Amino acid sequence: MPSAPASRRQDGETELSPPEQAWQALRQAVDPFGMLSTPWRAQLAWWTHPQDLLQQANESWREALALYEHGVQRLLGVQPDDPVAPKTEDERFADPAWLESAGFDILKEGFLSLDHRLRTLNYHAPGLSPHEQQQAHFWVHNWLNAIAPSNFFWTNPSAIQRALETGGQSLQAGWANWLRDLKAGKLLMVEPDAFQVGRDLGTTPGQVIWRNRLLELIHYAPATEQVRALPLVICTPWINKFYILDLNEHKSLVRHLTEQGFSVFITSWKNPGAELQDLSFDDYLQEGLGEAVRVVREFCGVPQVHLVGYCIGGTLAATYMAWANRHYPAEQMPVAHWTLLTTLTDFTEPGEIGVFIDEDSLRTLDQLMARQGYLDGEAMALSFRLLRSNSLIWHYWVHSYLLGEPLPAFNVLFWNMDTTRMPRAMHAFYLREMYLKNRLVQPDALTLAGEPIDLDRITQPLYAVSAQDDHIAPWQSCYKIRESVNLAAPVRFVLSTSGHIMGIVNPPVSPPKRAYWVGEPGRNDSCEQWLAQSPLQDGSWWQDWTAWLHARTGEWVPAYPAASAQFPSLGPAPGQYVLEK
């Protein structure tokens, strides 16, 4: 019997019928993130569209026939082309045995054919919304990744060969690694004591010159006798710890900036517990970034600074720029120009993380945060690992347990596992108002710290950096900042090769490892038009950025000391907040 139609309440929201309410309640209780329900609904959708189902059945039959013919030829000693070739970046099937052995080749092709067919069925399920299709595809893809033959000893030729070569010692080591992770309560990517912040990471000299309940403000010691008059204030993401921009002396953006003659300040955010659950986005705007800008201006005795924002720190920086352009008279604007690093301001297409953003998921997160007072960093880390489960989960499953290898001592992985918590009020607001409702780009739809927020009020020059392979902040979405800021605002846009982290942690090296596109987009240029007319340059965008900064950050002045009488040292960098677990 068809369910009663949904109606509209006076506030404009859809009122669900009783059967729909019951379904929503059941899903929220049992499967709030759609792990099982969205793939199931996708399969049911095909049965309600028989003509489309028949077409897919024909495609499935053709693929099955191609797979059968491939298997027969392999058993007869012929080596034809693969019906479904693994992607070049798919290391699961890199071992030559997957191609040379008929049995392993047939197993591989059977799995890849199943993977391709099921993902296609879920991604194109008729009658579902794009978000439901994305969710169904995401979860089916993750289930398939989990059952890949490379994840099991007897169907992984590399694991079998390693066991034979080591006389079974690799299996003993794998068992020890499994016990290690069982004790830790998670699949480790790096040993917890592989590095120490302040000794191996975050080592650029500096002083904590300001501290409140939200952040420590670090000023790095000058590396040159003279610096540019306008200091740089870097607003880091509080989803992770700040030292991603100061990994070591070879991969430190802040060290590079100080060596180029800039005075650099950076935010190190508090790792909040339940006692700070009421911290709001307003607090991060005023007590966080607003206070950092104020302190830096007073410390250096300058009317303006250059503001840099990375990831969610960039979202806060964009919000602050709109807020400050409304709050201050033009002649008192505290930021002269600004930089965004892989930052979303328009969340229409937020990337793969969007699979977790809907009302059911957010209600579940709200309930979880209400009980704890925060969102635990491990929960957030797991969601990001699921976005790249082959490389961030199953890679370590295979290498740790099946091959018995020790964990690599990789500083980026250590930083990635050094998680932080999100305060309840702020994170609920951020997910709902920006990701779900996309209100940051809607003029005056948000009122923060007493001011309506409109990005079109921003007229200051902007340098914006995105990354080609960024699955957290897709570069096409980052590009939309050009559409949001005022037409009078000069914008220089950069697209770096690599992803969300390595596209930014991208020091100049010889020979160059990476490249970037750079140019000034017109107001009406689409991202495709901008890319087509922008030159590709080898090397790091850091050099282009520092040249852009030198032209705008004032005259050379005697270097500011790391601390001062007005703002004495509260301790050496990297400070105390970054050490909190």
- All residues at 6 or more sequence positions from 271 whose CB lies less than 8 Å from its CB, including other chains: 420, 421, 577, 580, 581
CA angle 297, 300, 305 (to 5 degrees): 45
> What pLDDT was estimated at residue 125?
87
Residue 305 has φ and ψ, to the nearest 5°, of -130, 170
> What pLDDT was estimated at residue 23?
53
More confident residue, 89 or 381: 381
Burial letters 515-553, b for 16+ CB under 10 A, else e: bbbbbebeeebebeebbeebeeeebbbbebbbebbeeeb
Give the CB-side neighbour count of residue 461, counting CA atoms within 13 A.
13
Amino acid identity at 83: P
> What pLDDT was estimated at residue 80?
85
pLDDT, tens digit (0-9, with 9 covering 90-100), for 312-344? 999 999 999 999 999 999 999 999 999 999 999
> What pLDDT was estimated at residue 119?
87
Cα four-point dihedral sign 193, 199, 204, 209: positive
**Is 8 a residue whose pLDDT tops 80?**
no
**Which of 440, 210, 417 minimizes the C-alpha distance to 340?**
440
CATH number for domain 206-579, candidates 3.20.20.70, 3.10.20.30, 3.40.50.1820, 3.60.21.10: 3.40.50.1820
pLDDT, tens digit (0-9, with 9 covering 90-100), for 530-569? 999 999 999 999 999 999 999 999 999 999 999 999 999 9
> What pLDDT was estimated at residue 176?
97
Chain position carrying tokens 């060290």: 255
pLDDT, tens digit (0-9, with 9 covering 90-100), for 186-238? 999 999 999 999 999 999 999 999 999 999 999 999 999 999 999 999 999 99
**Is 424 a residue whose pLDDT tops 70?**
yes
Domain with CATH 3.40.50.1820 in the chain: 206-579
Q: Are 527 and 500 in contact (CB under 8 A)?
A: no
Report how far residue 384's alpha carbon sits from residue 341's, in angstroms, rounded to the nearest whole number: 19
Where is mean pLDDT largest: 81-90, 255-264, 381-390? 255-264
Q: What are the catalytic residues?
A: 311
> What pLDDT was estimated at residue 29?
59
Q: What is the mean pLDDT of residues 135-157?
A: 94
Residue 526 pLDDT level (bands cut at 50, 70, 90): very high
pLDDT, tens digit (0-9, with 9 covering 90-100), for 149-163? 999 999 999 999 999
Chain position carrying tokens 């709001």: 280
Q: Are 242 and 236 in contact (CB under 8 A)?
A: yes
pLDDT, tens digit (0-9, with 9 covering 90-100), for 431-454? 999 999 999 999 999 999 999 999
Report how far residue 411's alpha carbon sits from residue 326's, in angstroms, rounded to the nearest whole number: 41
**Is 19 a residue whose pLDDT tops 70?**
no
More confident residue, 477 or 42: 477
**Is 128 a residue whose pLDDT tops 90?**
no
> DSSP string spanning 469-482?
T-SSS-HHHHTTHH
Report how far residue 173's alpha carbon sits from residue 221's, in angstroms, rounded to the nearest whole number: 45
Strands 232-235 and 264-269: parallel
Number of CB atoms found within 10 A of residue 373's CB: 17
**Which of 263, 271, 264, 210 minimizes the C-alpha distance to 238?**
271
Q: Are 243 and 414 in contact (CB under 8 A)?
A: no
Residue 577 pLDDT level (bands cut at 50, 70, 90): very high
> What pLDDT was estimated at residue 104?
94
More confident residue, 8 or 441: 441
Share of the chain above pLDDT 90, in %: 75
Residue-averaged pLDDT of the chain: 92
Report how far residue 5's alpha carbon sits from residue 343's, in angstroms, rounded to the nearest whole number: 40
